[in-house]
């Protein structure tokens, strides 16, 4: 059973946002196994994810494990075991360098420099019928300053389709790994 507070992790860390993206997939596997695959974050088998990360100038070793994602500058904000994990990132993503600001999870909510955008990204396991679970990932972005919001909006217009592709491929990889499926078609 889901704990009430686990349903609101996004609202605890970024309740007000200007942009978001949500993707879901249904998986037939035990909750603990699915969460383990989410936590392991091994998406190195997806050529598409590696290519899109490379195009953005991000190291492709970020496809392996939570540590790889943290090396990109994300902070692990919270984990509710076998239910949800949420990551945070602060930066000027529309600039080539990204100007990622590394902040401790306890400082994420309070960070309010108007020159930066704040991002939360979660993976949440929702109950389904029988042995089915729904894995949902949501990305939220908040921009305090209207000028920053316009800059981010232009960036988001270009990057959102590719961000969606990455998220969808991540969910497919989680499904394949959790259900022990052998992919005969390269999903990447």
Segment 87-132, tens digit of pLDDT: 999 999 898 888 989 899 999 999 999 999 999 999 999 998 888 9
Segment 50-64, tens digit of pLDDT: 676 666 555 555 556
Q: What percent of the chain has pLDDT over 90?
A: 53
pLDDT value of residue 188 = 43
Q: Per residue, what are the HEC states of the chain?
A: CCCHHHHHHHHHHCCCCCEEEEEEEEEECCHHHHHHHHHHCCCCCCHHHHHHHHHCCCCHHHHCHHHHHHHCCCEEEEEECCCEEEEEEEECCCCCCCCCCCCCHHHHCCCCCCCCEEEEEEEEEEECCCCEEEEEEEEEEEECCHHHHHHHHHHHHHHHHHHHHHHHHHHHHHHHHHCCCCCCCCCC
The reported pTM is 0.84
pLDDT surpassing 70 at residue 2: no
């Amino acid at each position: 059973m889901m704990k009430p507070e686990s349903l609101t992790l996004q609202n605890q860390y970024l309740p007000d946002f200007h942009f978001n993206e949500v993707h879901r997939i249904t998986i037939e596997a035990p909750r603990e196994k699915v969460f383990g695959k989410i936590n392991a974050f091994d998406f190195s088998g997806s050529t598409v994810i590696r290519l899109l990360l490379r195009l953005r100038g991000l190291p492709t070793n970020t496809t392996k494990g939570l540590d790889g994602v943290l090396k990109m500058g994300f902070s692990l904000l919270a984990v509710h075991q076998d239910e949800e994990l949420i990551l945070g990132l602060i930066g000027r993503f529309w600039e080539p360098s990204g100007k990622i600001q590394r902040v401790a999870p306890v400082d994420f909510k309070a960070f309010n420099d108007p020159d930066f955008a704040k991002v939360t990204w979660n993976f949440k396991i929702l109950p389904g019928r029988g042995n089915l679970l729904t894995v949902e990932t949501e990305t939220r972005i908040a921009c305090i300053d209207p000028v920053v919001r316009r800059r981010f909006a232009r960036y988001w217009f270009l990057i959102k389709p590719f961000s969606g592709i990455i998220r969808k491929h991540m969910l497919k990889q989680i499904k394949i790994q959790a259900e022990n499926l052998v992919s005969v078609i390269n999903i990447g």
